[in-house]
Amino acid sequence: MGTITLIAAAATGLMAGVFFAFSVAVMPGLADLPAEQAREAMRRINVRIQNPVFLLVFLGTAVLCGIEVFQGRIVGGLLYVVGSFLLTMFVNVPMNNRLERTDDAYWPEYLRMWTIWNHVRALACLASMVILLLGF
């Protein structure tokens, strides 16, 4: 196993952990709050998550997994690129942007749909890690 594959596998595992924590702790915790408080807390989280460390790992993993695809480990690489990176860009980020622009009435739909898609991201990252480690 090459260095890039090992780093990509570790990074996809790290991202799986981030998404897992949101699925099992952050979002359920926010669900316990009144909509106004939960929406404001999530808006703050969405601002804070855009920090250099998170962005380096999130974007860097996409680059590494892209390299993995070109090196023949197509399934493992695409699971992260499609199931985490592109899903985030085309589903979760637009939902976050809408949360910024809407009132508290959107919160229940946001909470439900964002969490479902977050579960998908966590599973895609975990599967990517396992498949990269297995050499696919």
| 10-residue stretch averages of pLDDT, the chain, 136 residues long | 95 98 98 97 97 98 98 97 98 97 93 98 98 92
Instruction: Give 94-99 contacts, CB < 8 A, sequence gap 24+.
Output: 96/42, 96/46, 99/39, 99/42, 99/43, 99/46
What tokens appear for 18 in the block? 């981030």
Look up the pTM and report it: 0.94
**What's the distance, CA 102 to chain centroid?**
23
Distances (CA, A) of 104 to 29, 32, 47, 99, 115: 17, 14, 18, 8, 17
pLDDT for res 103: 86
